[in-house]
Amino acid sequence: MAKLVPLLAVFFYLVCVSEAVFEDQVGKFDWRRQYVGKVLFASFDSPSQSSKKLFVATDKNIFASLNSRTGDLFWRHVDKMGPEGAVDTLLVNAQDALMVIGDGRLLRSWDTNVGGLNWEVVLDTGSFQAACFVGIQDTVKHVAVLKKTAISLHYLSNGHQKWVENLPDSDTVKYQAVYSGGGEEVFVLGMVPHSHLTITVYSLEDGEIIRQRSVEAPWLSSVESSCVVVGRGVLMCVDNYTQALYTLAIQAEDSPQFRQVLLQVNGSRYLRNLVSPLYVHAFLKKDDSVGYRVLVQTEDHALTFIQQPGRVVWTREEALADVVTMEMVDLPLTGTQAELEGEFGKKADGLLPMVMKRLSSQVILLQAWMAHLWKLFYEARKPRSQIKNEVTIETLSRDEFNLQKMMVMVTASGKLFGIDSKSGTILWKHYLENVQPNAAFKLIVQRTTAHFPHPPQCTLLIKDKDTGLATLHVFNPIFGRKSQISLPALPRPILQSLLLPVIDQDYAKCLLLVDDQYKVTAFPSTKNVMQQLQEMASSIFFYLVDSEQGTLSGFRLRKDLSSELIWEVVLPTEVQKIVAVKGKRPSEHVHSQGRVMGDRSVLYKYLNPNLLAVVTESTDTHPERAFVGMFLVDGVTGRIIHEAVQRKARGPIHFVHSENWVVYEYWNTKSRRNEFSVLELFEGTELYNSTVFSSLDRPHLPQVLQQSYIFPSPITTMEATLTEKGITSRHLLVGLPSGAILSLPKMFLDPRRPEVVNEHSREENLIPYAPEMPIRTEWFINYNQTISRLKGIYTAPSGLESTCLVVAYGLDIYQTRVYPSKQFDVLKDDYDYVLISSVLFALFFATMISKRLAEVKLLNRAWR
Amino acid sequence: MASPGGQGSGALSTRGGVARRMKWALELSLGNTRGRGDRQSNQGDVMYPIGYSDKPVPDTSIQETDKNLVEKRCWDVALGPLKQIPMNLFIMYMSGNTISIFPIMMVCMMAWRPIQALMSMSATFKLLENSNQQWLQGLVYSVGNLLGSALAIYKCQSMGLLPTHSSDWLAFIEPPQRVEIMGGGMVL
């Protein structure tokens, strides 16, 4: 009997080796959405209406081309994150798109048709100010780049520098704009704030200064923000204080002067709107009337394209390029399913009513089934193209295996999305106004869909980083509507929150909010909840980690909802810094309480639900002295269960804490490589107390096993698969910088892997230890659908034990399913029903026919 | 008495020859009645000489030596299971301890046969009725069968098919209830 388990394990191992997607399965269970981020620069391809291309450069350092008819991406180039890849400007001229990148570090030219790079040159140092095309008449051959102290001219064809000149008086004059009027001259506009504007004219041929002019402008503070060149060399400037408009002819030979244009009173509002990101494309229609198209970037990071009569052609939700946190919520049951559930949920009230109830629900089911059949029949007559499988909120219902869920995504811009996990359709969106850009979010599912007729309830905790004050947004995750629930007043800064398994009479879990005086606010705070809280107060603990102070502190709740400090661990900040803390996921189930040894005894797992994995990094970054610490701390008692220090190592550390193991990855500074390390905790061959786990009554420390491996690639994020009952073997989902997600069997990260194989280890099916961890391309769950700038992976169990739903987010969003032990509980989707049933029918008829033939033959023989 | 093979060939010859054309035929010669005989052998009896019987005639005269023979026969029956044990041991040794289809089949056979024999003890006792040492023989018979089943159990044990280790009950251990509720994290 015990041998069957390893046999099964071998079976699973063998099948999981062949885990990959077949060509015909591409896009069947998975989808990817690509985003570009908030648009900084946009440009239309050509002045005609026929062109389909739009070019955008975004705050995520992306240069992309969009289809103006559908809003889809033609191509996209993802540059480095941070200021190194920041786009300074985008200029488009026919076939060439020019970009200045990284505060004037690089000048790039792209082919707009195919999105290929024409050339790239490194510019001289100096902070970038402006750039423009320089052309004689209408043929553009050069590009001028203005830096703080110099101006350079480059050929458009190959990027070579034609000339570079230092700007005169660059320590007093701020040069902020460059302009070419189509002649042999390049105009550079500089200014001394609140004094005058200078116009320096350079010769296109050799870069000599032809003339210098100075214009009095005491009201001008910045050319960049309040001036724009219109038409042929007319500079228009706004005086923000008097709200006056000035014009200036730049190309004038003699000394130019600003002319004031009188404005109407309401003109100021109009002027302010100019600065908002609005890209207008005006063109001449066939009948010579003027048409326009507008690309609007709104505050909630939505990109909308509008055509002339005010028709919205498409909208891109670019807020999804920056997902902060997410949750997956089960879809509600349909009416009939809910009816059945209700029947089993209610208490028995006599035999006859129960029978009647059962019969009535059966009738309802029959009705639903008939309606379904009728619909099938009705739709079968229609041509296939007319049937649309559009997902709307109204038609949403849980499927048979609970594989379709609602993804609730919170984005950095404060916009919430509800996305159908099967198709990727955005079903609802809700923009939260007044959310600070650096706010911290925590999304909590208070009530799931299981408590019909109570609607599911999610709570988003938004904490303002500056004031520390928090606000709650309570909503229905299926419809996105804000719930009309009285929210608790939160006058003090909130430090943390914890979700209790305490349920009020409406089945909503109780959320505790801890403020800076370590007092607790309960939400919801009904009488029922308060009573339960007072009863349970002595067994409710919470911990807070302050990485600035380097303290871990544990608190116990008092009956009056204040709390007492019961333990404190100080990790001196001069030596090391707490980087991250992770407990276990509360939804995690562990099926097997131990591991079977080769001699058929059991090594019991140390499954402490209160265990915390605390990761520290040394403040000293010298390769010889840097270290990484992993502390396993009991969150109730503060006892340090285990302490592992990795010398000559540094972060960034990615780790997963689950069941009885912690897997973490770090950079080994001595060997210059990435390494995986795994810690596993075992209680031993005897269980101390098999019925109840209390951290306060655990006299023995667990046995800790550790092993390390070399991993051939850096990683960006890591998560473990999760299934409903925890029977399926676990895999680690490792996000690589290339955008691939590697599904690495946990079997490879097992500290019991032996160096010398013996009979017992063979019996246990342990893989012999090898320092190198393989990366097999067939383990990539997202084949060629790479995810740019992968930031996080979210896993959720489905109704099928074999299946785990995976959502990876970063710049792109990718959803798929993984089967760590293959699909052992369901027939595969490519199962050949036709073949099997036709064989069965054929055999059946063959039997019937041969029976008949045999009878005839017997009769004939009898007559002989 | 004709052998079945001979009858078969006879039937073949008729099928190929005369019988095909006629609906029915009555033949009085010996060869063809034999042909029928394969189906209804009772009819063939008519043709045997008078006084010939198919069944052996039981010898009803009981003699003194027969008593010993019965005794011997009964002991044969009683010692049968014990005699099988060395054979079983050999099979056990040969089949090894790996779990695959053939060893499993053998173990099943080894386990099932003694159980079957023990269940049909009454029938065996009826066989041993005539013996003087009926009870002793019955005891020996059951002991032999018990030994056989013990051997099968031992085999199961050595193959690891018996739930005797704690690991076999691992799947039934419920996860422990947690007493304390804990939560928290980094200061937001």
- Report chain A residues whose CB lies below 8 A from the CB of B178: 609-610, 692-694
Structure tokens at A844: 């059946």
- Report chain B residues whose CB lies below 8 A from the CB of A542: 182-184
Average pLDDT of the segment spanning A215-226:
76
Residues A492/A382, Cβ–Cβ less than 8 Å: no
3-state secondary structure of B28: coil
Instruction: Give ∠ CA A799-A802-A803 in degrees, rounded to 5.
Output: 60
Is B1 a domain residue? Answer: no
Q: What pLDDT digit, counting tens, does each position of A426-474 carry? A: 999 999 888 888 889 999 999 888 877 788 899 999 998 888 888 999 9
Q: Give the residue on A whose Cα is nearest the Cα of B11.
A: A864
Task: Say if residue A49 is exposed, middle or buried (CB neighbours under 10 Å; 0-12, 13-18, 19+).
Answer: middle
Long-range contacts of A233-242 (CB under 8 A, 24+ apart): A233/A179, A233/A181, A233/A187, A235/A189, A238/A271
Q: What pLDDT digit, counting tens, does each position of A353-386 carry? A: 888 888 888 888 888 889 888 888 887 776 655 5
pLDDT, residue A834, reads 93
Does the beta-carbon distance from A607 to B168 stay under 8 Å?
no
Is B78 a domain residue? Answer: yes
A-B interface: how many C-beta pairs under 8 angstroms?
Answer: 138
pLDDT, residue A768, reads 92
Of A4, A542, A594, the CB nearest to B183: A542
Beta bridge partners of A654: A665
Of B160, B168, B179, the CB nearest to A694: B179
Of A461, A636, A687, the CB nearest to B182: A636
Q: How far apart are CA B178 and CA A608, in angstroms?
A: 9
Does the beta-carbon distance from B160 to A1 stay under 8 Å?
yes
**In A276-404, beta strands by DSSP E:** 278-284, 290-297, 302-307, 311-317, 323-330
Does the beta-carbon distance from A540 to B181 stay under 8 Å?
yes
Task: Please indicate if any CB of chain B lies within 8 Å of the CB of A500.
Answer: yes
Residues 455-484 of A with CB under 8 A from B: 461, 463, 470
The answer to whether residue A402 scores a pLDDT higher than 80 is: yes
Does the beta-carbon distance from B186 to A547 stay under 8 Å?
yes
pLDDT grade for A197, boundaries at 50, 70 and 90: confident
pLDDT, residue A655, reads 93
- Which amino acid does the sequence have at B90? F
Task: Please indicate if any CB of chain B lies within 8 Å of the CB of A587.
Answer: no
Q: Which of A377-381, A452-456, A699-703, A751-755 has the lowest mean pLDDT?
A: A377-381
Of A544, A591, A693, the CB nearest to B178: A693
The pTM of the full predicted model, rounded to 2 decimals, is 0.81
What share of chain A has pLDDT > 90, as a percent?
A: 32
Of B170, B173, B179, the CB nearest to A692: B179
Task: Please indicate if any CB of chain B lies within 8 Å of the CB of A579.
Answer: no
Of A495, A499, A501, the CB nearest to B187: A495
Q: How far apart are CA A226 and CA A240, in angstroms?
A: 8
Q: Give the residue on A whose Cα is nearest the Cα of B173.
A: A593
- Report chain B residues whose CB lies below 8 A from the CB of A590: 175
- Mutual angle of helices B64-95 and B101-119, in 10-degree steps: 150
The answer to whether residue A351 scores a pLDDT higher than 90 is: no
Q: Give the residue on A whose Cα is nearest the Cα of B15.
A: A864
Is B93 a domain residue? Answer: yes
pLDDT, residue A339, reads 65
Residues 7-26 of B with CB under 8 A from A: 15, 19, 23
The answer to whether residue A8 scores a pLDDT higher than 50 is: no
The answer to whether residue A742 scores a pLDDT higher than 50 is: yes
Q: What pLDDT digit, counting tens, does each position of A608-655 carry? A: 999 999 999 999 888 888 999 999 999 999 999 999 998 999 888 999
Task: Please indicate if any CB of chain B lies within 8 Å of the CB of A640.
Answer: no
Average pLDDT of the segment spanning A701-722:
93
Phi, psi at residue A370, to the nearest 5°? Answer: -65, -45
pLDDT, residue A485, reads 85
Q: How far apart are CA A416 and CA A459, in angstroms?
A: 12
Question: Which of A30, A160, A120 minimizes the C-alpha distance to A780?
Answer: A30
- Report chain B residues whose CB lies below 8 A from the CB of A472: none
Does the beta-carbon distance from B99 to A3 stay under 8 Å?
yes
Q: What pLDDT digit, counting tens, does each position of A528-564 carry? A: 888 888 888 889 999 999 988 889 999 999 888 889 9
Is B155 a domain residue? Answer: yes
Containing domain of residue B113, as a range? 62-162
Does the beta-carbon distance from A494 to B188 stay under 8 Å?
yes
Q: What pLDDT digit, counting tens, does each position of A484-495 carry? A: 888 888 888 999
CA distances from residue A595 to A104, A681, A684, A685, A719 in whole angstroms, order as listed: 59, 11, 10, 10, 22
Quote the DSSP letter at residue A218. Answer: T
Per the structure, the count of domains in chain B is: 1
Question: pLDDT: is A426 or B31 the higher one?
Answer: A426
Does the beta-carbon distance from A610 to B161 stay under 8 Å?
no
Does the beta-carbon distance from A543 to B185 stay under 8 Å?
yes
Q: Give the residue on A whose Cα is nearest the Cα of B24.
A: A864
pLDDT, residue A11, reads 46
- Report chain A residues whose CB lies below 8 A from the CB of B186: 496, 544-547, 578, 580-581
Task: Please indicate if any CB of chain A lies within 8 Å of the CB of B176.
Answer: yes
pLDDT grade for A19, boundaries at 50, 70 and 90: low
- Report chain A residues whose CB lies below 8 A from the CB of B99: 3-4, 7
The answer to whether residue A244 scores a pLDDT higher than 80 is: no
Does the beta-carbon distance from B170 to A583 stay under 8 Å?
no
pLDDT, residue B136, reads 86
Q: What is the DSSP string of A243-297?
A: TEEEEEETT-SS----EEE---TTHHHHHHHHHSSEEEEEEE-TTS-EEEEEEEE
pLDDT grade for B28, boundaries at 50, 70 and 90: low
Task: Please indicate if any CB of chain A lies within 8 Å of the CB of B187.
Answer: yes
Of B15, B168, B185, the CB nearest to A864: B15
Task: Please indicate if any CB of chain B lies within 8 Å of the CB of A539.
Answer: yes
| Rg, chain A, Cα only | 34
What ipTM was reported for this prediction? Answer: 0.71
Q: Give the residue on B whose Cα is nearest the Cα of A469.
A: B188
Task: Please indicate if any CB of chain B lies within 8 Å of the CB of A695.
Answer: yes
Does the beta-carbon distance from B170 to A636 stay under 8 Å?
no
